[in-house]
Structure 1
Amino acid sequence: MDERKIKEELTVKFITGEISEEEREVLLQWIDASEANFEYFRELKESWDLLGLCQEETTSYNAEGSWKQFRQSVSSGSPLVKKTHFKVHRKAEQKHFSWIKIASMIGLLFVSGWGLYYFNTLEIQEEAGVQWVTKYNPAGSKSNFYLADGTEVKLNAESSLRYPEKFTGKNRSVYLEGEAFFDVKRDTLMPFIIRAGNTRTQVLGTSFSISAYPEENVTSVALATGKVQVNIEGESPLEIHLIPGEKAVYQRISNELGKRPFDPDKEFGWRIGNLVFEEDGMTEIVKKLSRWYGVTIHLENPQNREVLINTSYSQQALEAVLKSLSYSLNFNYQIKGKEVWITMF
C-alpha cells in the first residue's frame, strides 16, 4: 500500500476518533512535512465534512450507496460545492463502520478530480518554504504557548492549532479545530487571521476565544478586548463585528450568524481550570466531561426529559464532579480507569 493511501486511512481514523496516539503522531509528522501534505489532508477532511460523514453518533456508513448517489449527482451536472447529497445510516446495534471503504471512496473522489475546484477557491495564499507546526491536545489536556509574533495561545482539550514557525507575507494566518483563547500581539500592518472550518476571524491586536469543534453545530467567537471581524465563507457569506463583551454565534446547519452578550467568567473559565456548565443537558454534560477529563463515558438508560444545568467546578476531580451532578440529574455512576458508566434512573 502506497504512502498516500496509508495517510488517507489515518486521516479517516483521525476524524472518527479511532486513531491511536502512535498513529496520530505519524499523521501529524506527515502533515507538517510539506505544504502539499497539509493541503491534501485538509481537502480530505473538508470533503468528509461536505459528504455529511462527520456527524455525532455515526455508527454505520453505507459507502456503496452514498458513492452511487455521488456519481448520480455528478452525472446530472449537480456540483458537489452546491449541495450535499449524502446521508449517514445509523444502526444502534453496530458500533463500527468500514473506515477503509470510506477512505477508498474519498480517495476516488480526488482521483476523479471532482470537488477540487471548490477547495481551491478557499485557499489561503501562503509563503513557500515556511515550516508549519501542528499543536494538538488530546482529551484531558490543555496547553499554553506563544507564536513567533508574541501572540499567546491557550489551547483547550481535544483541540489543534496549525501555525507557521514564523509569519511572512501580508497576514498572520493560523488554523484551529476545537477551542482556544488568543491574546494577539498588535500589528496594524499584518492582520491576524484564524480559520476554523468556514469561519474566518480577523483581528489586529486583541484578546478573544474561539470554540469550533468539528462535531458540533455551533461555532462561537467571544471578545474580551479590542475589535474582531467574523466572516462566514460559502455560498451565502455572512459578516459581523464585535466589541468587548459580545459573542458571535454561528449555527452551521441553518447558516445563521448573530451576536449576544456573555459572562466572561463562564466563557473564559476553562483557562484557569473551571469546568463550566451553562444551560447544558445530559448529552452536552457527557461530552464536556469526556473532553475535560480524557475519559470514555457510557450513558445507560438515557431519559427523555432533559434537565438543564447551570454550575461550575474549579479544579475538581472527576469523581467529585460526578457525585455532585448525580444528585441533580438522578444517576448512578461507576469509574473504571479511563471509562465511566452512568446509569440514569
Structure 2
Amino acid sequence: MNKRAFLQLLQKRDTGRLSAREKSLLLQVLDRLQRRELSWDLDTEDAAEIQQRIKGKIDRRIQASPKRNYFLRPLQLAASVALLIGLVFLVYQVLQTPTEVVWEERSTNERQKATITLPDGSLAYLNTNTSLRFPLKFEPGQRLVELDGEAFFEVVADKAAVFEVQSQGVRTKVLGTSFNVKAHRESAVKVAVQHGSVAVYQQGMEKETRVNLQPNQMATVFPDRREIRVEAVDPEGFLAWKAQSVSFDLATFEEVIHRLAAIYNYSIEIEGEGLDRCQIKATYTNGNLYAVLHGLKNLVDFDIKKTGERKVTLYFNRCID
C-alpha cells in the first residue's frame, strides 16, 4: 500500500465508510508503521493531515457521547487522547526515521564512453576508464555524486539544492552549470567550466582552500600539496574527448600521439627515430584511443604494446607513403 492509499483509508474511516476488510488492512498498515517496516516520506503536510483527521474523529466521538454517562465519558476521553498521542508519536517516528540512501555506480572501460541521466535530470558524460557513484534519489537540498575518472556535467538549475562532485579529496559545487572534472587517481584534479560558475574546494586537515571559476577557466588541484592553480583555457581543448570526431591537419606523428594522450588521459611513450617525417592529415571518430591508433596504422607503421593501466608504448617503424 502506498502513502496516498493509506490517507484515503483514514478518510473513509473518519466518515464511517470503512469496510471490515479495509479496517483490517488499515490496522495492518498501522502495525507495520509502528514496527518501521514501511519507509514513507511523510512530509509536514501529510503528518498534519493525519493528526487533524484523528483529532476530528475524537472530537466527534466526544460530542456524540450521551450526557448521562458521566462516569464513562472521562474514561472515553482519556482513551481517545491516548490514541491520539500514540498515533501522533507514530507519525513523528516515521518522520524522524532516516531513509537509507541507495547508491548506484556506473563505470566505463578503456574502450567505452557513456551518458548518464541523474535523478534530477542532470546529465553526466563519462569518458573512458571512469566510474560515477550517485544516489537513486537525491536527498532534499543536496545533489551529491562521486567521481573517479573524467566526466562532463550539464547540471539542471536548482537554487534549493547544491550539486556537488566529490573526487580525490576535491569538492566541486554548483547550482546549475556545465563543467568538466578530470580526477584520476594519483593525478592532479582538473576542473574546467564551460558555462556558469563553479566553486572548487581542496579538502585539508584543518580547513579547505576554495577558488571560484568562471567560464573558460580551469583549476588544477595538486593532491600532494595545498595548491590550486587557476588558468584560462580553450573549451575545445578540455572538451576534445567529448567531441564526435578528432582531426589532425598536417601534424607530425609525435604531435598526434601527444594530443591523443591528453584527450584519452593515457601515458603514451614512443620509441623510434624519424617521427617528424610523418605528416598526418585525417579525421577519426572519437570513440576510444585504440580505435584511433588502429586508424593511424593506415598512415604510419608502428606497433602497440599495453604496459599498464592507461599506459601504452608505441614502437615506430616508418611512414607509409
Q: 2:125 aligns with which of 154, 157, 178?
A: 154
- Give the distance between the partners of 2:189 and 2:168, measured in 1 at CA: 9
Q: Give the number of aligned pairs.
A: 203
Structure 1 pair 252/274, CA: closer, same or farther in 2 (3 Å)? farther
Q: Alignment partner of 2:215: what SS?
A: coil
Q: Which residue of 2 aligns with 1:198?
A: 169
The DSSP-based 3-state class of the residue aligned with 1:144 is: strand
Change (3 A) 1:333 1:234: same
Residue 342 of structure 1 is matched in structure 2 by 314
TM-score normalised according to structure 2 size: 0.53
- Assess, with a 3 A threshold, how the Cα gap between structure 1 residues 134 and 276 changes in structure 2: closer, same or farther: farther
Change (3 A) 1:252 1:344: farther
Q: How does 1:207-218 map to 2 (within 5 A)?
A: 207-215=178-186, 217-218=187-188
Matched, 1:143 2:118: no
Q: Shift in Å at residue 281 of structure 1?
A: 9.7
What root-mean-square deviation, in Å, do the aligned CA atoms of Structure 1 and Structure 2 show?
Answer: 4.0
Name the amino acid aligned to 1:147: L
Unaligned runs of 5+ in 2: 1-97, 249-253
Shift, 1:333, TM fit = 1.9
Please give the alpha-carbon distance, in whole angstroms, between the structure 1 residues aligned to 2:201 and 2:282.
Answer: 31
Secondary structure of the residue aligned to 2:111 is coil
Which string of whole-angstrom CA distances, capped at 9 and with x for unpartnered residues, describes residues 240-270 of structure 1?
0011111111122333211111111121122
Do the aligned partners of residues 289 and 160 (structure 1) sit closer, same or farther apart at CA in structure 2, a change above 3 Å counting? closer
The offset of 1:237, in angstroms, is 2.9
1:228 alignment partner in structure 2: 198
Aligned pairs for 1:78-227 (under 5 A) are 128-215=99-186, 217-227=187-197
Q: Is the 8 A contact 2:302 2:314 kept in 1?
A: yes
- Give the structure 1 partner of residue 45 of structure 2: none
Identical aligned residues as a percent? 26
Between structure 1 and structure 2, the one with the greater Rg is: 2
Q: Aligned letter for 1:342?
A: L
Name the structure 2 match of 1:252.
223
1:332 corresponding residue in structure 2: 302
| Residue in structure 2 matched with residue 60 of structure 1 by the alignment | none
> What letter matches 1:221 in structure 2?
V
Which residue in 2 is equivalent to 1:4? Answer: none
CA drift of 1:313 comes to 5.1
TM-score when normalising by structure 1: 0.50
SS in 2 for 1:265: helix
**Take 2:168 and 2:211, find their aligned partners in 1: how far apart are those partners?**
17
The structure with more strand, counted as a fraction of residues: 2
Do structure 1's residue 320 and structure 2's residue 290 form an aligned pair? no
